[in-house]
Amino acid sequence: MSSLRNYSLLMILSLGLAALVPTAEGAPNGKTTCATLAKPTIPGASVLSIQSQHLPNSTVLASPPLLNSNFTGLDLCGVDLVISHHGANDTVKIQVWMPSTGWNGRFVGTGGSGYAAGFFEYSLAPLVALGYAAASTDAGLSGDPYSPALWALHPNGTVNEDLLLNFASRSVHDMAVAGKAIAAQYYGRKPAHSYWNGCSTGGRQGLVAAQKYPRDFDGIVAGAPAIDWSRYVVAEQWPQVVMKEEGTYISQCVLGYFTDASVAACDSLDGVADGVITDVRPCNFDPFTLVGTRVQCDGGKENVTKEMASVVGKILAGPTGPSIPHAYALNPGAALDSLANTTIVNGTRVGLPFFVNDAWIKYFVKKDPDFDTSTIGYSDFEKIFNQSQQEFGQVIGSCRSDLSGFYSAGGKLIVWHGLADQLIFPGDTVAYHRNVTQALGNSSTVAEFYRTFLAPGVDHCGGGATPGAVPADPLSAVVAWVEDQKAPDVLEARKTKADGTVVTRNLCPFPSVSRYRGTGDKSLASSYTCA
């Protein structure tokens, strides 16, 4: 299970913080010091407390693979706010970090992953090191990214709608309002520009900001967004449903064999054999071609059966039905052993559902922590899928396609998604892009403020041993778009291979795809063009 968590939770590994000792500090604006900051005004909420202190020479230790470098010598003003929404009986923490010197005039809101809305120091330190003022929030939740058990339900078994609203959207706006107000106090001037940067749950939060609070951020980076939450999260259960109904649970070893075979079948369609499926659309991988082959696994060789191939085929096709708007399915090349994970219990192989969908169905749809998701069959799946959308689509669907308010406000939005994402379906991101285009009625208008970049061969948020090139610095790209009117015609990406070779690519704005020019070094972006 730990390997799945490393893939999906990009901001969770523990960090080491040096002792943070308050000291006296000079005021950047000559008037307000870190210690004298006042409570900001947050509409709809009361600020219960504010604690601020100067934190010089702070250190955040590296936690690979999520934080690959130590951050030392940070000199910052750290602010902790505790707020409560009127009538909600909640307690929300917002943390703001601001560089004591060298502020670049910008504010950045940061997001979370899984069931956590944010991760405080872990996501703030890298931004402060770059000169940004930055903020994070726990949305009043437990802070446990793996489970909503401590906050999802009231004692009477009903959903805690206030905390769900916090998680879905409200906390994003609160953090933006508070963070910018605190920065304006401290520096004596408002941030010149405000940005959002997040992936997974953080990507969904960024899209929510554009949809519901179009003037909170000038630029947004939404990576692998957990968009269409009320439907996609239930769809994550589909591989487990298929294995249950077909009575065939496949080992991780054999699942990996199917994944590798899909890459081998479609890798060279772009004319470059590099272990990456550049364009999944023409890939017609047939799992039945593996029937009868033998796979070397830790316990010996395993035979690939037609039952296994049938299961994989159904998983890759995704669920279908009159209420399912598009294929909620993994792409060829995505690891199957996350959503279709299995384990051995008492000598028998059984399903091991991913924690996000397992918890959502238990706590929110069924409102029963003891519900066994392994009992869900085809007919039950469709009922649960529909119930989730009906009850929670308006709250946490996060897929409103009318972004005219964000466009009118002058906002810029970069969405990126790995085509080999094994947790959140890239097809959802493509469908949303098309819906936005349809809502605004003109693809040229959409391209003026909103661009989607699909990253071939990249897994969820680029957090694993992905063979594809991962976006190098999408935040800088959106900053250049906002401040210099430099639209991102490509998004720079890179990958360092085990032998030290650096592979570069220019990700193309959807619907364009990267094509090899026919000459030149195949590991360099200059040898490719968008077509």
Residue 252 in any domain: the answer is yes
Q: Which of 349, 378, 396 represents a domain boundary (last residue)?
A: 396
Residue 446 in any domain: the answer is no
Q: Give the 3-state secondary structure of residue 480.
A: helix
Q: Measure the CA–CA gap between 439 and 426, rounded to whole angstroms.
A: 20
How many H-runs (helices) and E-runs (strands) does the chain carry? 15, 18
Could you confirm whether 460 is annotated as catalytic? yes
Q: What is the pLDDT of residue 69?
A: 78
Do 178 and 243 sit in the same domain of this protein? no
Q: Measure the CA–CA gap between 145 and 138, rounded to whole angstroms.
A: 10
For residue 418, give every residue at least 6 positions away whose Cβ sits within 8 Å of its Cβ, in sequence order, or none.
224, 426, 454, 455, 457, 458, 459, 460, 461, 462, 466, 468, 470
194, 110 in Cβ contact below 8 A? no
Do 30 and 117 sit in the same domain of this protein? yes
Q: Measure the CA–CA gap between 428 and 455, rounded to whole angstroms.
A: 14
Residue 487 in any domain: the answer is no
Paired strand residues for 79: 52, 96
90, 162 in Cβ contact below 8 A? yes
Residue 460 in any domain: the answer is no
Do 343 and 257 sit in the same domain of this protein? yes
Tell me how far CA of residue 351 lies from CA of 8, 167, 303, 354, 422, in angstroms. Answer: 19, 29, 19, 10, 17
What is the residue type of 129? A
Residue 328 in any domain: the answer is yes
What is the β-pairing status of strands 300-303 and 294-297?
A: antiparallel
Do 167 and 263 sit in the same domain of this protein? no
For residue 341, give every residue at least 6 positions away whose Cβ sits within 8 Å of its Cβ, in sequence order, or none.
4, 252, 351, 352, 353, 354
Nearest to 235 by CA among 48, 425, 421, 77: 425
Nearest to 522 by CA among 504, 508, 507: 504
Residue 528 in any domain: the answer is no
Q: What is the pLDDT of residue 12?
A: 36
Do 279 and 173 sit in the same domain of this protein? no
Do 133 and 239 sit in the same domain of this protein? no
CB atoms within 10 A of CB 417: 28
Do 167 and 312 sit in the same domain of this protein? no
Pick the catalytic residue: 85, 173, 417, 460? 460
What is the residue type of 147? S
Pick the catalytic residue: 52, 200, 398, 527? 200
Q: Which of 351, 378, 396 represents a domain boundary (last residue)?
A: 396
H-assigned helices in 115-235: 121-129, 161-165, 171-187, 201-212, 229-235
What is the residue type of 281? R
Q: Give the 3-state secondary structure of residue 164.
A: helix
Do 93 and 171 sit in the same domain of this protein? yes
Q: Give the 3-state secondary structure of residue 296.
A: strand
What is the residue type of 7? Y
What is the residue type of 406? F
Residue 357 in any domain: the answer is yes
What is the residue type of 128? V
Per-10-residue mean pLDDT of the chain, 531 residues long, equals 42 35 44 92 98 92 69 95 97 98 98 93 94 98 93 98 98 98 98 97 98 98 97 98 98 97 96 94 96 93 97 96 89 97 96 98 98 96 96 97 98 98 97 96 94 97 88 98 98 92 96 95 96 93
Q: Sign (positive/negative) of CA torsion 194, 406, 40, 124?
A: negative
Residue 210 in any domain: the answer is no
Nearest to 241 by CA among 171, 318, 175: 318
Do 148 and 297 sit in the same domain of this protein? no
Domain span including residue 388:
232-396
Q: Sign (positive/negative) of CA torsion 174, 180, 185, 186?
A: positive
Tell me how far CA of residue 414 lies from CA of 133, 189, 490, in angstroms. Answer: 21, 27, 11
For residue 295, give every residue at least 6 positions away whose Cβ sits within 8 Å of its Cβ, in sequence order, or none.
253, 254, 257, 301, 302, 303, 304
CB atoms within 10 A of CB 246: 13
319, 238 in Cβ contact below 8 A? yes
Q: What is the pLDDT of residue 66?
A: 53
Q: What letter does residue 490 receive in the DSSP assignment?
A: S
Q: Give the 3-state secondary structure of residue 159.
A: strand
Q: Measure the CA–CA gap between 438 and 433, rounded to whole angstroms.
A: 9
Tell me the CA end-to-end span of the chain in Å, nearest whole number: 40
Do 39 and 133 sit in the same domain of this protein? yes
Q: Which of 344, 363, 396 represents a domain boundary (last residue)?
A: 396
For residue 288, give every residue at least 6 positions away whose Cβ sits within 8 Å of its Cβ, in sequence order, or none.
306, 309, 310, 313
Do 12 and 75 sit in the same domain of this protein? yes
Pick the catalytic residue: 90, 274, 421, 428? 421
Q: What is the pLDDT of residue 492?
A: 98
Do 122 and 259 sit in the same domain of this protein? no
CB atoms within 10 A of CB 172: 30
CB atoms within 10 A of CB 247: 8
Could you confirm whether 421 is annotated as catalytic? yes
Total structural domains within the chain: 2
Show the tokens assigned to 353: 């559902």
Q: What is the pLDDT of residue 11?
A: 38
